[in-house]
Amino acid sequence: MSCALIGGGNSSDPQVQELEQRVAEQKRISEEADLRAKSEKQELKARQLRLKAAKNEAKARNI
């Protein structure tokens, strides 16, 4: 049982390189999804505030 690389060593093994690339790509995709989700939440919050303002305005007109 031999293990030439332990820890953070670099490998020229194509399989390892491919896995590293896949991990990096998945991380990038995940981070982009997190940013999109954050943006969607901000947009939802803004719409909720506009709805609340519109309801208050309508209520004020009916008084």
Domain limits of the chain? Answer: 23-63
Residue 45 gets the label, from left (phi > 0), alpha (psi -120 to 50) or beta, of alpha
* Lookup: tokens for 16: 């390892």
Amino acid 10: pLDDT: 65
Amino acid 11: pLDDT: 75
Amino acid 7: pLDDT: 56
- In the numeric block, the tokens 């303002």 are attached to 53
How far is it, in rounded angstroms, from Cα 44 to Cα 36? 12
Q: What is the pTM of this model?
A: 0.62
Amino acid 4: pLDDT: 54
Q: Residues in the chain with pLDDT < 70?
A: 1-10
